[in-house]
C-alpha cells in the first residue's frame, strides 16, 4: 500500500527524523493559516499517489501566506494523471545547500533489506540507477542482525565528508531503517535529504510503501488508506480479491492465475492485438469473481471483446462452464465473449457450453487469435 | 528418480486441522503421499483421516519420523510455524501459505539457510514427483511420471504447461513451483542444480516471469554448469513497468526484470525460449532429439 | 459401466467443513470425483478447495446441480441432514456417519423410501466406481477398473478382498459397502439387482457376515432373478451367539443370523462360498470361466 | 446398553404401566424393611446383567420379612456367571393366573419396530421362537405413524379373550411402545405380563436394552450404567474405542475392522486353532489402540500367542509398522507376536519390521497357520 508523503513524514517525525514543519489541509484558507504559523517561505504540495507531481504543477513555492492560499486554491481539485487532488501539504521550505538520496528496499537477491544512498539526491533515483549506477552506493543489511552503528556511519560517510553532517546523517539512516522495519515497509526513502546552508540536515520529501501482507499488524497504517485515490474498478477488484491492472488495449481478459494472465496478454500481443487489462481471478474460479471481472472490464469503453481463459485444476472445467452459463443467463454481457476452458474435464465443459450455444476453444492460441480478430472487427 | 521428494518422503502437515490443511491432506494421501503426522497447536491427540495430530513439530518429528513438512498455517503465524519446522530437524519445509509478510519471509529464509534446511515458498503451489509424492495443491491427475523436470514461479501457468506435456506424451520427474513472492527459499538455480544431478531427469522446463533477476541468474548458471538441455518460457512480455502483475514479485521496477532481458539472457545461455506455451513440448522434443 | 455412480455424478458433501468432511473432500476430488458443492449450515459463502459451501442442501442442489450427497455430519444431526438431502431432489444419499441412533435411521429410511431416493448406509464406507468416482472413505488406489461388482457389509474386509482381486488382475465395476448397522438403506438385493442390470458388470462378489437374514434373502433373490455368477464370503463362522461382533448388526440373536444358515442358503442358490478370502479370486475365475 | 430390571421397571412405572411395588437394596436389613413395608409375599431378585438368574439361585420367594432378609443375605455377594451381585430388588409377589409375553425389538427386515406377543409368557421367548414359532404373533409398526389404537387392541386381543383383561392389556402395550420410543430402546419386553386371579394385569418382569448411539439424548439413562457389572477388560476396551468380545481359545487377535476381525477368528478355527477373542481396533489403527489391545489380551491367562492383522488403507502399513516397533520397544510384550500387515505400502512395512528382527506374513492364511502352530507349541 502506498501512503501519502505527509503520512510518511508523520511516521518519520515520530521516530525523531528532522522533518521541516508541515500540515495537511483541504481548503485554501487553511493553507494560508498554516503558512502564517510556519512563517517564511513554504511549499504547497499535492497529496496524491502518483509520481511527477512537480511537472504537473502540483508543487509550488510560496513567499507569503496569500501566495500559499492562491497555490492551494489552484492545486486542490486539480487532476493529476487521472487522480483528483483533495489534500495539499503546506510545509516549511528549507534552504538547500546539498541534496542526497537515502532509501531502503527489499532485495530479492540478498533476501534482505538493502540500503541505497546517493549524493545525487532530489532527482529521480531510477534515472540515476539507469544512467550513472556508480553514483548509487548499495549496502545489504542482515535482517536478523539489523543495521549496525558502523554501517550507519559508513552510509553517512559515503554522502558527506563533513564530520558534523555525518554526525547528523548517521542517526537519520538508523531512524529510517527502524521506521522501515517497524512499519513493515517494502520501500522507505528520503529524497532529498537536504543539508541546509547552516549545516542542518532535513528530510524534505519522504516516501514509504507498506507491505500489504503485513497491514494486519499495523491498524494505524491500514487506516491511512485513501480510498479517494483508488478508482472504482480497483476498489471493486480489491474487495473481490481480484488482481487488476488497467492497460490501453481493446481485448479484455479474465484469467485464473497471475502467470497465466500475463501469458494471455502476451499471446494477445503475439497475435497482433492489444490487451485492455491484466486480470487474475485467483487460482480457483467462482462465478461471482468471473462476473465481477466482467463488470470491471465492461466499464472500459475501449474494450471490444472479452476473453475468458481458465485452467481447471481442483476446480473442474465443467463446473466453471455451468457457473458461467448461469451467471450469463442471470446477467447477460454487453460485449462479445470468447472462452477457453482447459484442464480437468474440459471435454464435458465444451459440451455444456455447446448445449447453450457457446463454444470453448481447444487451445490458448486459438482463443486468442479469435479474440484479436473480433477486436479488429473481422469476426 | 526425482528431486527433493519421492516415495520415501515422510510428510508432516502443519495446520492440518484448518480448512486448507485438512482438504489437501486428504488429496495428498489419496495421491499416495506418505503423510505421517500433522500439527495444530492445542489439537494434539486428535487424528485427521488416521493421521495423528501433535501440538508441536518437534513431537511430530520424533513420534513419526517426518522428514518434510508442508505449511498451511495462516499468514500471521506461517513464518514462525515454518521456523519451528526447520528447527525440528526436517530436511524440507514447503510453505503454501499466501500473504506472508516480507520481513517474516526474510527471517524465515535466514533461519533455514543457517540450519541447512531446504525452504520452498512461501506462497507457492508446492511440488510433485509424479507417481511418488505430492507436497502441494496442484491437481495430481494432470501429472505423469517421466524424465522432464519443470520449475516455475507460477501456478496455473505451470498446470497448463504440465497438461500440454502430458498430452504430448512427455512425463515429469518433478514439477516444482518456487512461488511468486519477492523473498523465496528455493530459487531457479537451486532446482536446476538438483535436476542436473538427478539421474531421473533428462531435460528441464523453466517457466519464468517478469520481476527480479532470478531468470538472468539462472541463465548464467545454465551456461556455466548445466549439461542437460533446458527449455524456457517467460510470462509478462507485455507487462508495463511499475505495475504489479498479481504476484508481489512480478513487477518491472527500476528498469529491471523485463521479459526481454530474461529472454536474451536465456538465449545467450543456449536455452530456447518458447514464444507461446504451446511451443514448449515441440522445443523439448527437438532438444531431446539432439 | 458401473452402478449408482459414475463420471457424471455430481456430488455435494454435507458436513464439508468438518474434520472428516474436509479431509475426504480432498481425497475424493484428487481421485477425480465431481464434487460440485458442500453444505455446512452457517458457513454458506465459504469455499473448500474451490468447492462452494452452502447453508442448505436445497441451495447446493439448485446452485450446482448436485445429484448425489455424501454425509459426514455428526451422528446427532446426520439423519436430519440426510432427510434434508433426500427432500432436495438428489438421487443418492450416502451416509458415512457412524453411530446414528436406530430410531433416526428408521425415520430416515422411511422418508427416502417414500421419496424414491436411494440411501446408502448409515455407517458405511460408501461406494466407488473405479476410475470414475468415489463417494466414500476407501483408499482409491487399491481399486482398479474392471467388470466385477463387489458388495459388502464390512469395511477393511472389503479392502482386503478388493486388494486381492487387484493382485489377481480382476478389476471392479463398482465396489459398494452397505454398512454394518441393523437399519440400512441399500441392501444386498438392491445392489444385486443393479449389478444384474449393469452391462459393465459380469460377476459379483457378495461379502456378508453374521446377523440378520439379509444374506438369506440375497440368496433367494440370486436363485430367482440373477443370471450373472455370484461368489460369496461370510465372516463370523466362529462367532458365539448373543455377542455383538463390533458392528451393531453383527449378532446372532434368537438362533438367527448364523454363518451356517447363510452359507447354506447361498450354496443352495448356486453361489460358491469361499472358506477364506484368498479363495475368492480363484472362485471368481472358475465362475467366469464357465 | 443393558439396564437392570429395577431400572426398566422404574421407566415403565413412570409411563403408567402397572408394576408390582418394589425397591432395590444393597444390604439384607434393608431387604427386611422393604418386605415389611410391602407386606405379604415378596420376591428377592439379584440385579445383574446376565440371564438365567433363577437357575443360579438369584431369585427367591419370601413369605416373611425374615425370609426376605435371609434370601438377600445369600444372594448379595453371590457370583452369577462371573458377575458379583451388589444389589437385590425386593418386590411384591403377585399371584399368577396367566403369564404372557409382550416385547418390541428393532426389525432389520421391515426397518422398523416389531411387536411380538405370546400367550406363552414367563419362559425364555427365544426357545418359544425356535420350537413353537406359531405361538408368537408379530406385528410390524410404522415408525413414523407409531402404534395405532387398533393395533394395540389387536395385540391385546391376541393374548386374552376376556374384555376386561384386553381393556387393561391394550394400554400396557401402548405404554410399552411409548417407553420404547421415548427411551431409544433396541429391545423392551415384559415377561411375564401377569394376569392375577382377581383379573388385574401386572408387569412382573421388565427388560430394556438402550441404543448406545442414542444415549447422548438420555443422560438420565446413561447415568444408569452399572460399571460394577463391566469387567476391567471391557471397560478398558470401551474407553479406548475398541470392540472386544472374550472367547475361550488361546490365539489372541488384534484386527482393524469388525468384518476382518471375524474373518481372522474364522481362519484360526479353519486352521485348527481357537480364537481367544474378537477384537476390532477400528478402521484406522493408532499405536495406542494396538497397545491397549495387547494389554487386554495378555491379561487372559489362556492366551499363548497374539496375532496382529491390519489392513492399511488410508493409514499406511509402514506407519503402522513403525508405531508398532516403537510401542514394543517402550513396553515389550510378554507373549509371542505374529504380524501381518497388508494394503498400502506393505513391502516397506515388511522391510521396517525385518530391520527390527520382526517379520510380517504375506497373507492372512500364512499368519494364521503360524499363530495356530505357535499356540500348539509347534513353532
Tell me if C50 and A318 make a contact (CB, 8 A cut-off): no
Asked if D189 is an active-site residue, the reply is: yes
- CA D356, distance to chain mean position in Å, is 41
Q: What is the CATH number of the domain that holds A177?
A: 3.30.470.20
Indicate the pLDDT class of residue B255, thresholds 50, 70 and 90. Answer: confident
**Would you say residue A378 has pLDDT above 70?**
no
Whether A5 maps to a domain, the answer reads: no
Q: Residue B151: which of A106, A259, A364 has the closest Cα?
A: A259
β partners of residue A45: A59, A89
Cα B208 to Cα A263: distance, rounded to the nearest angstrom:
11
Instruction: Provide the pLDDT for residue D241.
Output: 86
Note whether A346 and A213 are same-domain residues: no
> Length of chain B in residues, anyone?
290
Note whether A258 and A336 are same-domain residues: yes
Note whether A88 and A204 are same-domain residues: no
Helices of type H across chain B: 19-31, 57-64, 75-87, 102-115, 156-167, 188-197, 214-225, 259-268, 280-289
Note whether D61 and D159 are same-domain residues: no
**Would you say residue A362 has pLDDT above 90?**
no
Note whether A187 and A241 are same-domain residues: no
Which of A126, A214, A311 lies closest to B255 in CB terms?
Answer: A126
Instruction: Provide the pLDDT for residue D159.
Output: 94
Whether D16 maps to a domain, the answer reads: no
DSSP D89-157: EEEE----SEEEEEEEEEETTTTEEEEEEESS-SS-HHHHHHH-GGGEEEEE--TTT---HHHHHHHHH
Helix and strand numbers, DSSP H then E, in chain C: 9, 14
Tell me if B157 and A259 make a contact (CB, 8 A cut-off): yes
- Contact flag for A and D (3+ C-beta pairs < 8 Å): no
Instruction: Provide the pLDDT for residue A327.
Output: 81
Q: What is the CATH number of the domain that holds A38?
A: 3.30.1490.20
Q: What are the catalytic residues of B?
A: 247
Helices of type H across chain C: 19-31, 57-64, 75-87, 102-115, 156-167, 188-197, 214-225, 259-268, 280-289
Instruction: Provide the pLDDT for residue C53.
Output: 94
Q: What is the CATH number of the domain that holds D274?
A: 3.40.50.261
Question: What cell numbers appear for C184 in the block?
Answer: 440400512
Tell me if B50 and D284 make a contact (CB, 8 A cut-off): yes
Tell me if D322 and B47 make a contact (CB, 8 A cut-off): no
Indicate the pLDDT class of residue A369, thresholds 50, 70 and 90. Answer: very high
Indicate the pLDDT class of residue A285, thresholds 50, 70 and 90. Answer: low
Mean residue pLDDT of chain C comes to: 93
Question: For the ranges A19-23, A33-37, A106-110, C66-70, which has the lowest average pLDDT?
Answer: A106-110
Chain B residues whose beta carbon lies within 8 Å of the beta carbon of residue C136: none
- Chain C interface includes D247 (CB < 8 A): yes
- Contact flag for A and C (3+ C-beta pairs < 8 Å): yes
Per the omega criterion (within 30 degrees of 0), is the bond before C179 cis?
no
Which tens digits make up the pLDDT trace of B119-177? Answer: 999 999 999 999 999 999 998 989 999 999 999 999 899 999 999 899 889 999 999 99
Among chain C, residues having any CB pair with chain B shorter than 8 Å are: 17, 19-20, 22-32, 46, 48-49, 139-141
Note whether A283 and A200 are same-domain residues: no
State the total domains in chain A: 3
Whether D4 maps to a domain, the answer reads: no
Which of C49, C52, C64 lies closest to A314 in CB terms?
Answer: C49
**Would you say residue C15 has pLDDT above 70?**
yes
Domain around D172 = 98-222
**Would you say residue A99 has pLDDT above 80?**
yes
Which residue bears the cell 448379595? Answer: D76
- Chain B interface includes A214 (CB < 8 A): yes
Which of C47, C63, C65 lies closest to A284 in CB terms?
Answer: C47
Instruction: Provide the pLDDT for residue D213.
Output: 93
Whether D10 maps to a domain, the answer reads: no
Note whether A206 and A247 are same-domain residues: no
Q: Residue C131: which of C119, C118, C144 has the closest Cα?
A: C144
Cβ-Cβ contacts under 8 Å for B158 (sequence gap 6 or more): A259, B125, B138, B150, B152, B175, B177, B207
Instruction: Provide the pLDDT for residue D378.
Output: 59
**Would you say residue C218 has pLDDT above 60?**
yes
Closest-CA distance of chain D to residue C45, Å:
30
Note whether D165 and D47 are same-domain residues: no
Residue in C closest to B53 by C-alpha: C19
- Report the residue of C246, C257, C263, C278 to disrupt the D interface, i.e. the one with the largest count of D CBs within 10 Å: C246
Tell me if B278 and A243 make a contact (CB, 8 A cut-off): no
Which of B49, B63, B64 lies closest to D314 in CB terms?
Answer: B49
Note whether D177 and D274 are same-domain residues: no
Closest-CA distance of chain A to residue C23, Å:
14
Question: What cell numbers appear for A17 in the block?
Answer: 527524523
The answer to whether the CB of D53 falls within 8 A of the CB of D45 is: yes
β partners of residue C126: C136, C177
Question: What cell numbers appear for D69 in the block?
Answer: 432378609
Number of C/D CB contacts below 8 angstroms equals 174
Tell me if B50 and D318 make a contact (CB, 8 A cut-off): no
Whether A9 maps to a domain, the answer reads: no
CATH number for C138-288: choose from 3.10.20.740, 3.40.50.261, 3.40.50.620, 3.30.70.520: 3.40.50.261
Query: Which of D62, D92, D122 is at the close of a domain?
Result: D92
Query: Which of D222, D255, D285 is at the close of a domain?
Result: D222
Residue in C closest to A313 by C-alpha: C50
Indicate the pLDDT class of residue C45, thresholds 50, 70 and 90. Answer: confident
Note whether A327 and A344 are same-domain residues: yes
- Chain C interface includes A285 (CB < 8 A): yes
The answer to whether the CB of D351 falls within 8 A of the CB of C263 is: no
Q: What is the DSSP pairing of strand D98-107 with strand D185-195?
A: antiparallel
Which of B23, B46, B141 lies closest to C49 in CB terms?
Answer: B23
**CATH 3.40.50.720 residue ranges for chain B:** 10-120
Chain B residues whose beta carbon lies within 8 Å of the beta carbon of residue D284: 47, 49-50
At the top level of CATH, which class does the domain C10-120 belong to?
A: alpha beta
Chain C residues whose beta carbon lies within 8 Å of the beta carbon of residue D181: 103
Coil vs helix vs strand at A72: helix
Instruction: Provide the pLDDT for residue C66.
Output: 95
Q: Residue B281: which of B169, B152, B177 has the closest Cα?
A: B169
Tell me if B64 and D284 make a contact (CB, 8 A cut-off): no
Which tens digits make up the pLDDT trace of C194-215? Answer: 999 999 999 999 999 999 899 9
Closest-CA distance of chain B to residue D352, Å:
12
- Report the residue of B112, B186, B238, B242 to disrupt the A interface, i.e. the one with the largest count of A CBs within 10 Å: B238
β partners of residue D25: D88
Instruction: Provide the pLDDT for residue D236.
Output: 87
Tell me if A322 and C64 make a contact (CB, 8 A cut-off): yes
Which 8-state DSSP code applies to residue D191?
E
Instruction: Provide the pLDDT for residue A230.
Output: 75
Q: Which residues of D323-354 are buried (b: 16+ CB within 10 A; e: fewer)?
A: bbbebbeeeeeeeebbbbbbbbbbebbbebbe
Which tens digits make up the pLDDT trace of D308-321? Answer: 999 887 777 887 88
pLDDT in tens, chain D (379 residues): 889 999 999 999 999 999 999 999 999 999 999 999 999 999 999 998 887 788 888 999 999 999 999 999 999 999 888 788 999 999 999 999 999 999 999 998 899 999 999 998 888 877 887 788 888 999 999 998 999 999 999 999 999 999 999 999 999 999 999 999 999 999 999 999 999 999 999 999 999 999 999 999 999 999 988 777 677 888 888 888 899 999 999 999 999 999 999 999 999 999 999 999 999 988 666 777 888 899 999 999 999 999 999 988 777 788 788 888 888 888 888 899 999 998 877 888 888 899 998 988 888 999 999 999 999 985 5
- Chain A interface includes C48 (CB < 8 A): no
**Would you say residue A30 has pLDDT above 90?**
yes
Tell me if C30 and B27 make a contact (CB, 8 A cut-off): yes
Indicate the pLDDT class of residue A276, thresholds 50, 70 and 90. Answer: very high
Which residue bears the cell 406359531? Answer: D134
Average pLDDT over residues C109-118: 95
Instruction: Provide the pLDDT for residue C49.
Output: 79
Instruction: Provide the pLDDT for residue B122.
Output: 96
Note whether A45 and A111 are same-domain residues: no
Note whether D57 and D105 are same-domain residues: no
Instruction: Provide the pLDDT for residue B88.
Output: 95
Cα B233 to Cα B77: distance, rounded to the nearest angstrom:
34
Amino acid at each position: 500500500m502506498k501512503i501519502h508523503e505527509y503520512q510518511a513524514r508523520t511516521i518519520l517525525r515520530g521516530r525523531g527524523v528532522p522533518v521541516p514543519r508541515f500540515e495537511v489541509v483541504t481548503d485554501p484558507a487553511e493553507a494560508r493559516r498554516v503558512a502564517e504559523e510556519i512563517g517564511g517561505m513554504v511549499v504547497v504540495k499535492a497529496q496524491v499517489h502518483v509520481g511527477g507531481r512537480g511537472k504537473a504543477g502540483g508543487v509550488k513555492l510560496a513567499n507569503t501566506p496569500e501566495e500559499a492560499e492562491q497555490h492551494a486554491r489552484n492545486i486542490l481539485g486539480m487532476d493529476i494523471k487521472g487522480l483528483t487532488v483533495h489534500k495539499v501539504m503546506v510545509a516549511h521550505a528549507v534552504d538547500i545547500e546539498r541534496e542526497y538520496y537515502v532509501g531502503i528496499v527489499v532485495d530479492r537477491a540478498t533476501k534482505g533489506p538493502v540500503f541505497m544512498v546517493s549524493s545525487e539526491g532530489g532527482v529521480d533515483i531510477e534515472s540515476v540507477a539507469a544512467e550513472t549506477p556508480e553514483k548509487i552506493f548499495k549496502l545489504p543489511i542482515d535482517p536478523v542482525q539489523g543495521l549496525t552503528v558502523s554501517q550507519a556511519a559508513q552510509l553517512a560517510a559515503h554522502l558527506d565528508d563533513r564530520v558534523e553532517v555525518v554526525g547528523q546523517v548517521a542517526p537519520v539512516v538508523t531512524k529510517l531503517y527502524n521506521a522501515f522495519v517497524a512499519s513493515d515497509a517494502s520501500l522507505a526513502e528520503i529524497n532529498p535529504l537536504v543539508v541546509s546552508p547552516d549545516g542542518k540536515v532535513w528530510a524534505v520529501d519522504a516516501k514509504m510503501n507498506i507491505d500489504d501482507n503485513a497491514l494486519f499488524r499495523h491498524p494505524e497504517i491500514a487506516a491511512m488508506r485513501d480510498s479517494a485515490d483508488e478508482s472504482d474498478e480497483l476498489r471493486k477488484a480489491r474487495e473481490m480479491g481480484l488482481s487488476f491492472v488497467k492497460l490501453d488495449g481493446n481485448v479484455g481478459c479474465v484469467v485464473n492465475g497471475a502467470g497465466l494472465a500475463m501469458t494471455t496478454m502476451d499471446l494477445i500481443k503475439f497475435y497482433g492485438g492489444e490487451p485492455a487489462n491484466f486480470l487474475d481471478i485467483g487460482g480457483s474460479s467462482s462465478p461471482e469473481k468471473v462476473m465481477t471481472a466482467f463488470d470491471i472490464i465492461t466499464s472500459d469503453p475501449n474494450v471490444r471483446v472479452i476473453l475468458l481463459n481458465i485452467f481447471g485444476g481442483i476446480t473442474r472445467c465443467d463446473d466453471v462452464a455451468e457457473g458461467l452459463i448461469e451467471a450469463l443467463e442471470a446477467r447477460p454481457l454487453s460485449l462479445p465473449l470468447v472462452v477457453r476452458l482447459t484442464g480437468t474435464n474440459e471435454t464435458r465443459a465444451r459440451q455444456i457450453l455447446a448445449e447453450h450455444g457457446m463454444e470453448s476453444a481447444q487451445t490458448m492460441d486459438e482463443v486468442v487469435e479469435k479474440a484479436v480478430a473480433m477486436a479488429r472487427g473481422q469476426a | 528418480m526425482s528431486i527433493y521428494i519421492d516415495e520415501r518422503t515422510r510428510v508432516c502437515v502443519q495446520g492440518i486441522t484448518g480448512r486448507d490443511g485438512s482438504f489437501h491432506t486428504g488429496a495428498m494421501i489419496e495421491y499416495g503421499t506418505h503423510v505421517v503426522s500433522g500439527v495444530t497447536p492445542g489439537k494434539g491427540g486428535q487424528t485427521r483421516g488416521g493421521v495423528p495430530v501433535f501440538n508441536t513439530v518437534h513431537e511430530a518429528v520424533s513420534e513419526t519420523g517426518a522428514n518434510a513438512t508442508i505449511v498451511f498455517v495462516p499468514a500471521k503465524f506461517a513464518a514462525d510455524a515454518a521456523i519451528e519446522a526447520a528447527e525440528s530437524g526436517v530436511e524440507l519445509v514447503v510453505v503454501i501459505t499466501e500473504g506472508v509478510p516480507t520481513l517474516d519471509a526474510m527471517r524465515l529464509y535466514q533461519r533455514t539457510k543457517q540450519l541447512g534446511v531446504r525452504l520452498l515458498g512461501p506462497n507457492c503451489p508446492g511440488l510433485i514427483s509424479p507417481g511418488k509424492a505430492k507436497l502441494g495443491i496442484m491437481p495430481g491427475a494432470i501429472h505423469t511420471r517421466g524424465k522432464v523436470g519443470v520449475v516455475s514461479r507460477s501456478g496455473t501457468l505451470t498446470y497448463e504447461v504440465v497438461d500440454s506435456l502430458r498430452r504430448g506424451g512427455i512425463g515429469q520427474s518433478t514439477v516444482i513451483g518456487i512461488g511468486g513472492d519477492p523473498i523465496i527459499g528455493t530459487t531457479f538455480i537451486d532446482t536446476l542444480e538438483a535436476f542436473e544431478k538427478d539421474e531421473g531427469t533428462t531435460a528441464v522446463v523453466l517457466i519464468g516471469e517478469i520481476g527480479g533477476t532470478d531468470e538472468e541468474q539462472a541463465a548464467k548458471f545454465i551456461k556455466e554448469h548445466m549439461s542437460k538441455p533446458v527449455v524456457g518460457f517467460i510470462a509478462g512480455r507485455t507487462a508495463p513497468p511499475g505495475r504489479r502483475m498479481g504476484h508481489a514479485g512480478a513487477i518491472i521496477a527500476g528498469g529491471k526484470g523485463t521479459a526481454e532481458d530474461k529472454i536474451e539472457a536465456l538465449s545467450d545461455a543456449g536455452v530456447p525460449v518458447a514464444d507461446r506455451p504451446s511451443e514448449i513440448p515441440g522445443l523439448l522434443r527437438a532438444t531431446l532429439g539432439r
